[in-house]
Amino acid sequence: MEIEFIKDVLLIALCGASAFYCWMLSHRLKKLNDLKSGVGASIVTLTEAIERTHAAATTARGELFESIDEIKGLLSDAEAKASRLEAAMTDAEAKIVETERANAALQKIIETDVPKARQKALKTTESLLRVVADLKRLNTSLPAKSADTPDAANNQDAA
């Protein structure tokens, strides 16, 4: 009988320990599932974060499409301006070639015609100086006109 009593006491002790263990597990599970702290709070926080991420992704997608449309518009403007720029550059290059030709022609004129014109001007100046010198010489060699002559009287009235 003693063995049965010991078995019963051990069985009661074991049932008590099992009940205490179940109570402790239940208490831990309640804490774990609590929405303010524990896994429940983590799940709620994670769900909110997923919703915010989804909203941010939706907003970003909308902004991305707007940016793509804006970039397409800017790209088409750039292509149109690029063709105009190419036409302007071609025109500028043609004008540069034309200017270089005109510059070469002017260079030729400056190198050939200007020295010739200078020589001609020097000869003309020398000739004019000789004429002026001859006129001075003639003027000094002519006798002075008297006041009695009719030309001298006309000259005095004009003065």
Alpha helices in 34-159 (DSSP H): 39-108, 114-141, 150-158
Q: Biggest alpha carbon distance in the chain?
A: 195
| pLDDT per residue of the chain (159 residues) written in tens, 0 to 9 | 788 889 999 999 999 999 999 999 998 888 777 666 767 777 778 889 999 999 999 999 999 999 999 999 999 999 999 999 999 999 999 999 999 999 988 888 888 888 888 889 999 999 999 999 988 888 888 776 655 555 555 555 554
Euclidean distance between CA atoms 5 and 11, whole angstroms? 10
Euclidean distance between CA atoms 151 and 135, whole angstroms? 20
pTM score, whole prediction: 0.38
The whole-number pLDDT of residue 88 equals: 93
Q: Are 38 and 31 in contact (CB under 8 A)?
A: yes
Residue 5 contacts by C-beta under 8 Å, 6 or more apart in sequence? none
